[in-house]
Amino acid sequence: MSNEAKLVVEPRTEMGSAACRRLRKRGLVPGNVYGHNADPLAVVVASDVLGLFLKTGSRVVDLEVSGKQDKAVIREVKWEVFGRYVEHFDLLRVDPNERVTITVPIVLKGAAPGAVGGGMVEQPMHSIEIDCLAYQIPDSIVVRISTLEMGQIIHVRELPLPEGSHAHAAPDAIVVHIVKAREEAETAATPGASEPEVVGKKVADPDAAKDDKKKK
């Protein structure tokens, strides 16, 4: 279950791209709050306050707007292209006991024995969309790989999801597995290998060369 963290924001009156750029120059981050049978609300918060909140890793927000309390979840956080600061954020109001659909990161823990003897850990799936009760939203789904040997797989159906939640992915989809490490020979040219024949390239005829010398 996600830990709840408080975030205090203020209503925003400046709208549009130009206004948002001005807010960022002043150290503020524009955002929106949606959902739960209420009109969307434009908000703003100091970038350092938002940064401290995001460091908590919480997905459930104890939100305060103009003194009014609400529960919300993080819907989207848009970072600057180099990840230096947050440009915009969206929150979704929720009832703690209602079901929500949200994307949760998948985090690997432990060292796989199969990765020691010539294998490598391959993780095709780094996040997954699930539906669960709002109060059950996990900060992440932790997958322990400390027993994985060469060739072994962890599928979506084996993920430790919150009780009563469902994954929006095929049960047999691969989350992580141990595969053979690629040989260097497969990616590097073999030393001493002959030069490939070029299509259309003329091969020198030794007899023709002798005839040329006689003519001279």
Whole-number Cα distances in Å, 145 to 24, 31, 78, 110, 150: 42, 38, 31, 6, 12
Instruction: Please state the domain extents for the chain.
Output: 4-94, 102-184
Tell the CATH superfamily of the 4-94 domain. Answer: Ribosomal Protein L25; Chain P (2.40.240.10)
Residue type (1 letter), 56: T
Q: Along the 216 residues of the chain, how does pLDDT read in single tens digits?
A: 455 688 899 999 889 889 999 999 999 999 999 887 778 889 999 999 988 888 887 777 888 998 888 888 888 888 888 888 889 999 888 887 888 888 899 999 999 998 887 889 999 999 999 998 887 888 789 999 999 999 999 999 999 998 889 999 999 999 999 998 874 435 444 455 445 554 454 545 555 555 555 555
Tokens of 209: 């060369």
Identify the CATH class of 102-184. mainly beta
Q: What is the pTM of this model?
A: 0.59
Rounded CA-CA distance 26/43 in Å is: 15
* Residue burial 112-124, b: 16+ Cβ < 10 Å; e: rest: bbbbeeebeeeee
CA 15 to chain centre: 29
